[in-house]
C-alpha cells in the first residue's frame, strides 16, 4: 500500500519529530511517532515514555497508537516514526494491519523494518538528518539506556 495523502512524508514526520524532542526534554528516549488517516488527518501522536513512566511497553509507536483510540480499520492508516520500529512495534503494525510506515531514519537501528516490507507493508525511509543526529547523539551519551530500550543486556553490550 502507498500513502494516499497529498501531505508530504516530511511534513508528517514533523509531528513525530516534535514528539521525540519532547521525550528528550522529559529525560526520555527521543523516539516519537504519529498515526495518520490516509488523508493526512492526525489520529494520535506520542513518544517513548519508558523512562518517564517506568514502563518498558510505552514506545513511541505504541503511545501514538493508544492515543489514536479505537479505529474500525487500520489498513489505510500511516504510522510515522522517527526511528525504524523495533520488533515489538513492528508486531503492533502487523497485528493491526497498518498499511504504511514512514521512518525518519534507519541508520542507527533497523528493528523489524525488513520483516514489515516482506509482509507487504509499505515502508518509506527518509533518513532525515535531524532524526539521525538526535538519535546518534542520544546513543553516544546514553549507551546503557539505549541497550536497555532495544533489549540488549548490559553484559552483551560490553562484549560487542
User: Which residues sit opposite 103 in a β-bridge?
Assistant: 81, 125
Tens digit of each residue's pLDDT (9 = 90 or more) over 48-107: 999 999 999 999 999 999 999 999 999 999 999 999 999 999 999 999 999 999 999 999
pTM of the model: 0.91
Question: In terms of C-beta distances under 8 Å and separation of at least 24 residues, what long-range contacts does 20-27 make, across chains too?
Answer: 20/47, 20/48, 20/60, 20/82, 20/104, 20/131, 20/134, 21/134, 22/47, 23/47, 23/48, 23/49, 23/52, 23/60, 24/134, 24/138, 26/51, 26/52, 27/51, 27/52
At residue 3, the pLDDT reads 45
Strands (E), the chain: 32-36, 42-47, 78-81, 100-103, 122-125
Task: Output the average pLDDT for the chain.
Answer: 93
The domain over range 9-159 is classified in CATH as 3.40.140.10: yes
pLDDT band at 155 (very low <50, low <70, confident <90, very high): low
Q: Return the domain boundaries, the chain.
A: 9-159
As a whole number of angstroms, the distance between CA 123 and CA 102 comes to: 6
H or E element in which residue 129 lies: helix 129-141
Residue 100 · residue 78 · CB < 8 Å: yes
Residues annotated as catalytic (active site), given as ranges: 61
Alpha carbon of 1 to those of 14, 117, 122, 129: distances in Å?
A: 22, 11, 5, 26
Amino acid at each position: 500500500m502507498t500513502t494516499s495523502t497529498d501531505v508530504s512524508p516530511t511534513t508528517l514526520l514533523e509531528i513525530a519529530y516534535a514528539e521525540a524532542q519532547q521525550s528528550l526534554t522529559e529525560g526520555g528516549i527521543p523516539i516519537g511517532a504519529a498515526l495518520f488517516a490516509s488523508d493526512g488527518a492526525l489520529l494520535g501522536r506520542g513518544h517513548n515514555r519508558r523512562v518517564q513512566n517506568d514502563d518498558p511497553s510505552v514506545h513511541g509507536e505504541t503511545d501514538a497508537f493508544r492515543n489514536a483510540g479505537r479505529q474500525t480499520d487500520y489498513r489505510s492508516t500511516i504510522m510515522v516514526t522517527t526511528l525504524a520500529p523495533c520488533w515489538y512495534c513492528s508486531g503492533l503494525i502487523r497485528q493491526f494491519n497498518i498499511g504504511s510506515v514512514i521512518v525518519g531514519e534507519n541508520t542507527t537501528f533497523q528493528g523489524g523494518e525488513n520483516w514489515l516490507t516482506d509482509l507487504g507493508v509499505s515502508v518509506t525511509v527518509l533518513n532525515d538528518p535531524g532524526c539521525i543526529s538526535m538519535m546518534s547523539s542520544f546513543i553516544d551519551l546514553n549507551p546503557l539506556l539505549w541497550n536497555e530500550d532495544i533489549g540488549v543486556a548490559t553484559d552483551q553490550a560490553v562484549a560487542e
